[in-house]
Amino acid sequence: MSLGKLYGIGVGPGAPDLVTLRAYELLRRLPVLAVPRPNAYSPSLAFRIIEPHLRTDGEQKHLYLEFPMTKDPDILVPAWAKAFLAIETELEAGRDVGFVTQGDPFIYSTFIYVYESLKAKYPELVIEVVPGVTSIAAVPMVAGVPLVDGQERLAVIPASYGTEELRSILRSFDSIVLMKVASVMETVVDLLEEEDLLDCAYYVERATTSEQRIVRDLRELRGNRCIYFSMVVVSKKRRNGVLRGHHVSKEPVSLGALL
């Protein structure tokens, strides 16, 4: 059996014109595109990003695969198995498959589960990963706040990491990117206020799209529903500018909670 080749294609944070040239070429060429979505009734943001770039000759097959947004393994495992099987069927028929994913395929991406599962089942499978513009890069850009400079230290974590661990990270790093923040926004706002960091933080949702929203006073988010595609960035800016000869803060660093 000659397997097709699997591609993990990062398509960026939301704006179609942030799709890379390599991704664009594959989106036009591949016979099969696998498109993840939360369920059969929800649109796929990844497909919305790539749609302007797709061929219109009807020759390309689109596999819409359900990846539920839940932590319940009783729901996830059967859904994943069904999605993996659909991809395997195409690969075993010798067809190349491109799995499109918002952002980058190897950063908090659904593609990681596809990659690990199929690589284990088919050791001979050739997999190519096409990096994408990540929200980690896009969000600071739209907010106009450089992410790190000089001797600044960066942490990228899920906001649901845990209150005490998050507190330690906020104290130990200069710029902190909080992903998956929607479900714990109240906790995040309270913690930033306790640490006197509210004025160093901002919130962005749907970055680079026409529905983009930026909130610079996180107090406004108390009691408001935040969406899944959102992020909070904390930028202290106490250690930047070292290349211009600026004084660097000697604040203590404690990473014990991270080891």
User: What pLDDT, on a 0 to 100 scale, did the predictor assign at position 246?
Assistant: 61
pLDDT in tens, 82-91: 999 999 999 9
pLDDT band at 245 (very low <50, low <70, confident <90, very high): low
How much is the average pLDDT of 192-209?
Answer: 96
Count of other CB atoms within 10 angstroms of residue 251: 11
Asked if 149 and 247 touch (Cβ cutoff 8 Å), the reply is: no
Residue type, 41: Y
Condensed to tens digits (0 to 9), the pLDDT of residues 164-173 reads 889 999 999 9
Amino acid in the structure at residue 138 = A
pLDDT at 257 over 50: no
Give the chain's domains with CATH numbers.
6-130 (3.40.1010.10), 135-258 (3.30.950.10)
Q: With 90 as the cut, is the pLDDT of residue 129 above it?
A: yes
Average pLDDT for residues 129-140, to the nearest whole number? Answer: 97
Check pLDDT > 50 for residue 92.
Answer: yes
Inter-helix orientation angle 73-92/111-121, to 10°: 60
Single-letter amino acid code for the residue at 170: L
DSSP 123-176: TT--EEEE----HHHHHHHHHT--S--TT--EEEEEGGG-HHHHHHHHHH-SEE
The CA distance from 37 to 152, in Å, is 36
Cα-only R_g, the chain: 20
Claim: this prediction has a pTM higher than 0.75: yes
Cα angle, residue 246 at apex, residues 242 and 251 outer, rounded to 5°: 80
